[in-house]
């Protein structure tokens, strides 16, 4: 609301100029730390946070000191902590301070999740990227950006920024400018027009520089690439993309696939995270805040043996794309046996209105209120309800927030909350 008010008073160009100047000032103030680090950016609609963390884990296995910044967490060398800022990309001064801390800790690599909204506000300016991973592009943040073409434009700005960024030398070695792009996504065709030192593609379905083959999703995720096989305990086809893109990026930084496939990858907090307190049913926490990601998650869960699927559905949040609210509800109604719609991050919107809008979609899919559909404003009570009605071999799915540490309410209110801790408490007091 403040941003929109300032735009009306001062004009959009003045506000954008302000953001640009602040970004340049922040980089100057902290001594341009990105010029002394090898910086990997990750952008796209889905899979960014997982990919950032996987790149970091591959580098850890190779004993390459690194830091990261993502929607879920931050890391500076061995120190890691959850993101409690409710921002994918921090403000300009915070980002530059984090990069400076990485440099002080003698990190060689920085892995930065880079969002379209961050790019719109010039938070990428002052970050000299060396390699950028493109995951995929689906309709998201449409209202925030004023349409899909604007959303696409902001994503492409990052790659153009990469292309024109000054090359750096680290340990007397010139660092190339590289794009690693998902060849199964149409956007890759457009990105190929951007001139960089090396444009590398990865895929599952399309002939590419690196193509996942021999994919097995029965017992975790495993696949081979260029004759090297990697096995993980992850779930879902979408994780093939996440793992492959991270592997390719690190490979293109000069490391051997034979070493990378030996890495024992671990999950990301709040991303396909199973909560096990000894119960006879499963509880899964995931982010999945938009239709594409939620659809992929449902596909994965359809292959897991279970009794019922009970879905606690975050109601898409306030100030966002309202059109997707009934779509998310309809998807839940079609795929879950019981749907519990609850609060997520209403900001200044009426949470009950959002919940009702999501419920319309679930009702359209055949759900009956107070039988197979429940509307519970309190997110804690909604999770408690799901766990209290769960039976042997059910799956309780809780989506919308993952490992986020707050619920954002009106007037900038931030209420401490963690779906994982709420679920654990409910399981232990059930």
| Same domain? 301 vs 408 | yes
Structural domain harbouring 51: 2-260
| DSSP-derived pairing of the beta strands 406-408 and 414-416 | antiparallel
Q: What is the CATH number of the domain that holds 375?
A: 3.90.190.20
| Same domain? 423 vs 318 | yes
Which of 306, 304, 268, 303 shows the shortest CA–CA distance to 286? 268
Which of 136, 138, 89 shows the shortest CA–CA distance to 113? 89
> How far, in Å, CA of 28 to CA of 34, rounded?
11
Amino acid 333: pLDDT: 98
Q: Are 244 and 56 in contact (CB under 8 A)?
A: no
pTM: 0.89
Contacts of 279 by beta carbon, 8 Å cutoff, 6+ apart: 390, 427, 430
392 in any annotated domain: yes
Give φ, ψ of 172 to 5 degrees.
65, 15
Q: Which residues pair with 174 in a beta bridge?
A: 169
| Same domain? 166 vs 194 | yes
237 in any annotated domain: yes
Q: Are 120 and 20 in contact (CB under 8 A)?
A: no
- Reported as a single tens digit per residue, the pLDDT across 35-85 is 999 999 999 999 999 999 999 999 999 999 999 999 999 999 999 999 988
44 in any annotated domain: yes
406 in any annotated domain: yes
| Same domain? 136 vs 223 | yes
| Same domain? 316 vs 182 | no
Which of 243, 292, 297 shows the shortest CA–CA distance to 270? 297
Q: Are 151 and 142 in contact (CB under 8 A)?
A: yes
| Same domain? 256 vs 278 | no
Amino acid 13: pLDDT: 73
Q: Is 408 in a helix, a strand, or coil?
A: strand
The two tokens of residue 267 are 């999950």
| DSSP-derived pairing of the beta strands 210-211 and 198-203 | parallel
- Reported as a single tens digit per residue, the pLDDT across 315-361 is 777 766 688 899 999 999 999 999 999 999 999 899 999 999 999 99
Q: How far is CA 233 from CA 144, 214, 226, 245, 272, in A?
A: 36, 16, 21, 17, 11
265 in any annotated domain: no
Burial (CB count <10 Å: 0-12, 13-18, 19+), residue 91 = middle
| Same domain? 9 vs 134 | yes
> How far, in Å, CA of 388 to CA of 412, rounded?
32
Q: What is the CATH number of the domain that holds 224?
A: 3.40.1190.10
Amino acid 48: pLDDT: 95
267 in any annotated domain: no
Domain stops at, among 260, 286, 311: 260
> How far, in Å, CA of 127 to CA of 397, rounded?
37
> How far, in Å, CA of 229 to CA of 214, rounded?
9
**Which residue matches tokens 């986020």?**
404
Amino acid 27: pLDDT: 95
| Same domain? 160 vs 288 | no
| Same domain? 247 vs 288 | no
| Same domain? 251 vs 350 | no
> How far, in Å, CA of 133 to CA of 158, rounded?
10
246 in any annotated domain: yes
> How far, in Å, CA of 260 to CA of 246, rounded?
10
Amino acid 411: pLDDT: 87
Amino acid 2: pLDDT: 53
Q: Are 26 and 93 in contact (CB under 8 A)?
A: yes
Q: Are 315 and 354 in contact (CB under 8 A)?
A: yes
Which of 403, 340, 408, 401 shows the shortest CA–CA distance to 374? 340
Domain stops at, among 260, 287, 307: 260
72 in any annotated domain: yes
Per the structure, the count of domains in the chain is 2
Helix H segments across 62-221? Answer: 92-104, 116-120, 142-145, 148-164, 187-191
Stretches where the chain sits below pLDDT 50 are 1
| Same domain? 305 vs 252 | no
Amino acid 116: pLDDT: 87
| Same domain? 127 vs 199 | yes
Q: Are 231 and 247 in contact (CB under 8 A)?
A: no
Which of 135, 144, 321 shows the shortest CA–CA distance to 242? 135
Domain stops at, among 260, 290, 318: 260
């Amino acid at each position: 609301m403040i941003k929109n008010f300032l735009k009306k008073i001062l004009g959009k160009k003045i506000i954008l100029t302000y953001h640009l100047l602040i970004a340049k000032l922040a980089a100057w103030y902290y001594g341009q730390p990105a010029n002394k680090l090898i910086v990997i950016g990750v952008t796209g609609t889905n899979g960014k946070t997982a990919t950032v963390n996987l790149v970091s884990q591959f580098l850890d296995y190779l004993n390459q000191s690194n830091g990261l910044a993502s929607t879920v967490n931050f890391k500076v060398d061995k120190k890691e902590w959850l993101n409690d800022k409710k921002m994918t990309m921090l403000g300009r001064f915070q980002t530059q301070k984090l990069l400076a801390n990485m440099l002080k800790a003698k990190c060689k690599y920085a892995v930065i999740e880079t969002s379209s909204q961050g790019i719109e506000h010039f938070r990428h300016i002052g970050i000299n990227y060396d390699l950028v991973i493109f995951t995929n592009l689906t309709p998201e943040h449409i209202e925030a950006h004023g349409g899909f073409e604007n959303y696409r434009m902001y994503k492409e700005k990052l790659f153009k920024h990469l292309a024109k960024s000054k090359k750096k030398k680290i340990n007397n070695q010139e660092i190339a400018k590289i794009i690693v792009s998902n060849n199964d996504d149409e956007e890759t065709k457009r990105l190929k027009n951007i001139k960089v030192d090396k444009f590398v593609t990865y895929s599952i379905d399309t002939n590419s520089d690196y193509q996942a083959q021999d994919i097995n999703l029965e017992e975790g995720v495993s696949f081979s690439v260029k004759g090297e096989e990697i096995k993980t305990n992850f779930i879902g086809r979408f994780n093939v993309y996440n793992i492959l893109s991270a592997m390719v990026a690190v490979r293109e930084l000069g490391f051997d696939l034979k070493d990378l496939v030996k890495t024992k990858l671990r999950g990301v907090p709040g991303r396909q995270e199973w909560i096990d307190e000894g119960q006879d049913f499963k509880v899964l926490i995931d982010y999945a805040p938009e239709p594409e990601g939620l659809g992929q998650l449902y596909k994965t869960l359809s292959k897991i043996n279970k009794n019922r699927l009970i879905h606690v559905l975050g109601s898409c949040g306030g100030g966002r794309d309202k059109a997707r609210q009934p779509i998310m509800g309809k998807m839940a109604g079609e795929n879950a046996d019981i749907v519990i719609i609850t609060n997520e991050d209403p900001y200044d919107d009426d949470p009950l209105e959002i919940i009702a809008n999501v419920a319309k979609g679930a009702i359209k899919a055949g759900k009956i209120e107070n039988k197979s559909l429940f509307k519970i404003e309190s997110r804690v009570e909604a999770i408690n309800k799901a766990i209290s009605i769960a039976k042997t071999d059910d799956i309780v799915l809780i989506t919308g927030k993952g490992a986020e540490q707050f619920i954002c309410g009106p007037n900038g209110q931030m209420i401490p909350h963690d779906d994982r801790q709420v679920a654990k408490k409910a399981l232990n007091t059930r």
